[in-house]
Amino acid sequence: MRKIFKAELQALGDDLTQMAELVNKAITGASHALLNGDLDTAQQVIVDDQQIDDLERSLDERCVLLLAQQQPVATDLRLVVTALRMSATLERMGDLARHIAQVARRAYPTTAVPAQCTPIFEGMAGAAQRVATRIHGLLDSHDLDMAQTIEEDDEILDNFHTDVFSTLLGGEWEGTPQQTIDVTLLSRYFERFGDHGVSVARRMTFVVTGDFHRAATNDAVS
């Protein structure tokens, strides 16, 4: 039984890693589409989100079957419950990347982000992509140093989020109402992406260090 359980747990970890890889691809594509007005890439991100949703469903089903067939207790049980939570968070990160791509698609053939805000969104896109890359790395390698850098990039995203509002309210903002709406929502999507990244990183840290109580109770910062 124990051997089967370990193999099943490994398969769960592989699914989570694959989800993180797809989220990384999604936020990279969405950022590129947004900053370059690239319609094809935006469209691809929107279509590909279904893969992440499907993976979440199969992973969740795997978790339920694992609970039913292996009846894990203590640490093993908390590992499975934590995997369930991480898959929901990764799915949500995929949704946020899709939302960014949808804004890019709607704005085509112009870009949703006016020149005045381009440097901020280049910064946000960079930080969000680092978060996604490191979550993938963290799930793949269990290297906890990555968790710390994810928290740092989340703080960078929060600061850019504040910068966006300073720009919009600074008196020199010349955007149209549509641009104000787009920039407000895009900033919110990137900021939430970082929050969810921190949630995954903390859960993973607790999985690796064995502090499962905190993993079970630590929810997305909002």
Name the residues that contact a copy of itself, by CB under 8 A: 53, 56-57, 60-61, 63-64, 67-68, 71, 73-74, 77-78, 81, 84-85, 88, 91-92, 95, 99, 165, 168-169, 173, 177-178, 180-181, 184-185, 188, 216-217, 219, 222
Direct distance between the N- and C-terminal alpha carbons of the chain, in angstroms, rounded to an integer: 40
Nearer residue to a copy of itself within complex by CB, 69 or 141: 69
Q: What 3-state class would DSSP assign to 144? A: coil
Tell me the closest approach of the beta carbon of residue 149 to a copy of itself, in angstroms: 26
Distances (CA, A) of 178 to 70, 147, 217: 53, 36, 39
Nearer residue to a copy of itself within complex by CB, 178 or 209: 178
Q: Is 216 exposed, middle or buried (0-12, 13-18, 19+ CB in 10 A)?
A: middle
Nearer residue to a copy of itself within complex by CB, 147 or 189: 189
Q: Which among 129, 163, 122, 123 is positioned nearest to 149, based on CA atoms?
A: 129
Tell me the closest approach of the beta carbon of residue 144 to a copy of itself, in angstroms: 23
Tell me the closest approach of the beta carbon of residue 25 to a copy of itself, in angstroms: 19
Q: Are 70 and 1 in contact (CB under 8 A)?
A: yes
Nearer residue to a copy of itself within complex by CB, 137 or 194: 194
Tell me the closest approach of the beta carbon of residue 134 to a copy of itself, in angstroms: 24
Distance between CA 40 and CA 29 in Å, rounded?
10
Nearer residue to a copy of itself within complex by CB, 88 or 208: 88
Tell me the closest approach of the beta carbon of residue 87 to a copy of itself, in angstroms: 10
What residue spans of 177-221 are helical by DSSP H? 177-209, 212-217
Q: Within a 10 A sphere around the Cβ of 152, how many other Cβ atoms?
A: 13
Q: Are 213 and 110 in contact (CB under 8 A)?
A: no
